[in-house]
């Protein structure tokens, strides 16, 4: 994602903002690879915003422009369960892990000037909680009436959103049972989310690059003395 055309792929819109925020840190600590810096910042965000510990280890060696991934390998938010499965099965994730990963939408929001979609998934978009699953199950969702891309809004407040690719999690029986499990038990979701994100952050990295055999559990700022 450091190079064109990958940095300009539609599914990466807006990530330039995060990359630019991290660039001064890269300048100050040039010995860290972009692969390590960007995954570490993801770990820090999840942990500092109240989420589970994400086991992480350093060593990723940055690739070259010629190794850019082709467009079309990232999930398309307008698509259904077959597409979501194709994308994540290719990376080695099963249905349970797909549902666990999508809970990442507890954080943040969609922006019309980035993806075209609009709004947050939860009422607490700066906290990692299992409310994404609870809202999916407990709220009534309807197509939003607007000029933008097809997305759902909650009927009650019309202030929350679900992407078509999020909503398949309650339309598909095998996905839905995990939505229920994670809505009922946040600890279970934290455990599964942590394991899946840790794997996602190591995908495609040759094991010999890592400096440690076992990932580390990093302290949060409020745990440091
Ligand atoms: C089917 C898979 C997925 C699809 C289709 C998808 C799609 C999207 C879209 C369209 C946005 C809005 C971008 C914008 O307008 O700014 C977004 C944002 C976001 N996604 Fe996903 N995503 C998927 C999986 C994931 C996963 C696995 C995670 C993390 C574990 C994740 C974390 C986030 C976060 C935190 C944001 C908010 C960004 C912000 O607030 O600026 N997503 N995603």
The answer as to whether 11 is a domain residue is: yes
In ligand 1, the atom with minimum distance to the C-alpha of 118 is: 15
Say whether both 183 and 94 belong to one domain: yes
CA torsion, ordered 105, 70, 210, 27, to nearest 10 deg? -80
Q: Tell how far the Cα of 31 is from the centroid of ligand 1, in angstroms.
A: 29
Question: Regarding beta strands 141-143 and 109-110, do their DSSP bridges make them parallel or antiparallel, or are they unpaired?
Answer: unpaired
The answer as to whether 121 is a domain residue is: yes
Q: Tell how far the Cα of 80 is from the centroid of ligand 1, in angstroms.
A: 15
CATH number at residue 153: 1.10.420.10
Residue 137 preceded by cis peptide, ω within 30: no
Say whether both 158 and 207 belong to one domain: no
Q: Tell how far the Cα of 12 is from the centroid of ligand 1, in angstroms.
A: 10
Say whether both 173 and 115 belong to one domain: yes
The answer as to whether 1 is a domain residue is: no
Q: Tell how far the Cα of 11 is from the centroid of ligand 1, in angstroms.
A: 9
Q: Tell how far the Cα of 105 is from the centroid of ligand 1, in angstroms.
A: 6
Say whether both 88 and 160 belong to one domain: yes
Say whether both 33 and 88 belong to one domain: no
Any residues with Cβ below 6 Å from ligand 1, and which?
A: 14, 75, 77, 84, 101-102, 104-105, 107-111, 114-115, 117, 163, 165, 197
65, two tokens: 């422009």
The answer as to whether 119 is a domain residue is: yes
Calpha distance 164→80 (Å, rounded): 7
Calpha distance 30→106 (Å, rounded): 32
127, two tokens: 């906290």
Say whether both 50 and 90 belong to one domain: no
Say whether both 173 and 215 belong to one domain: no
The protein residue whose alpha carbon is closest to atom 29 in ligand 1 is 104
Say whether both 94 and 168 belong to one domain: yes
Say whether both 186 and 88 belong to one domain: yes
pLDDT tens, per residue, the chain with 225 residues: 788 888 888 888 888 999 999 999 999 999 999 999 999 999 999 999 999 999 999 999 998 888 888 888 889 999 999 999 999 999 999 999 999 999 999 999 999 999 999 999 999 999 999 999 999 999 999 999 999 999 999 999 999 999 999 999 999 999 999 999 999 999 999 999 999 999 999 999 999 999 999 999 999 999 976
What does the pLDDT read at residue 225?
A: 63
In which domain, by residue range, is 104 found? 81-196
How many domains does the chain contain in total? 2
CATH number at residue 31: 1.10.520.10
């Amino acid at each position: 994602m450091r190079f064109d055309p990958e940095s300009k792929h539609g599914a990466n819109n807006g990530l330039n903002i995060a990359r630019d925020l991290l660039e001064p840190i890269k300048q100050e600590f040039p010995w860290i690879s972009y692969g390590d810096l960007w995954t570490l910042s993801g770990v820090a965000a999840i942990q500092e915003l109240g989420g589970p510990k994400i086991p992480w280890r350093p060593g990723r060696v940055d690739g070259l422009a010629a190794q850019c991934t082709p467009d079309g390998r990232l999930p398309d938010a307008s698509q259904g369960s077959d597409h979501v499965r194709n994308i994540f099965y290719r990376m080695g994730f099963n249905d349970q892990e797909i549902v666990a990963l999508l809970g990442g939408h507890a954080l943040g929001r969609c922006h019309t000037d980035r993806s075209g979609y609009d709004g947050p998934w939860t009422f607490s978009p700066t906290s990692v909680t299992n409310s994404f699953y609870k809202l999916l199950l407990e709220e009534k969702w309807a197509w939003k009436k607007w000029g933008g891309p097809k997305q759902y809004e909650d009927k009650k407040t019309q202030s929350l959103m679900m992407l078509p690719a999020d909503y398949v999690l309650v339309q598909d029986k095998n996905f839905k049972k995990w939505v229920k499990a994670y809505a009922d038990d946040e600890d279970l979701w934290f455990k599964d989310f942590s394991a899946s994100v840790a794997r996602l952050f190591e995908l495609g990295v040759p094991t010999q690059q890592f400096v440690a055999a076992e990932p580390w559990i990093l302290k949060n700022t409020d745990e440091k003395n």
